[in-house]
Amino acid sequence: MKMRKPHGKFLWAGAIGLAMLAADLLIAMPFGSFVSEAQAIVGRPATPGSIAGVARRTTRRVIRRSSIYVAALPASCIKTSVNGAVLWSCGGVYYQPYGGRYVVVYIN
């Protein structure tokens, strides 16, 4: 049984990528750059222009969990949604389902 080296394609792709980057840095291109400037870095949602970072920070600012858990909701609770999160409003106190029980949350 003959074994093939699977790394050949990756080496060529890496070599071509490095050549493009070197050409971009060393040669002045009249039509622009091969590599454009990134406005938001993938995997870094805390960058200012990142939609994922804005949504995450907004949700954290609005809903805060407490350390108070209850097994069952009080009577006359109303199901509502805040920023896409399902909450139960029971007389001014908000509860969020969590692992088979409910946690008291604060909305700011």
Q: Where are the domains of the chain?
A: 7-37, 64-108
In terms of pLDDT, which residue wins out, 79 or 58? Answer: 79
* Lookup: tokens for 97: 């389902």
For residue range 65-103, what is the model confidence (pLDDT) as tens digits? Answer: 889 999 999 888 999 988 788 899 998 899 999 989 999
- Predicted TM-score (pTM) of the model is 0.44
Confidence (pLDDT) at 42: 57
Q: What are phi and psi of 21, to 5 degrees?
A: -65, -40
Instruction: Tell me if 49 sits within 8 A of 38, measured CB to CB.
Output: no
In terms of pLDDT, which residue wins out, 79 or 42? Answer: 79
In this structure, the number of other CB atoms found within 10 A of the CB of residue 102 comes to 22
SS3 at position 105: strand
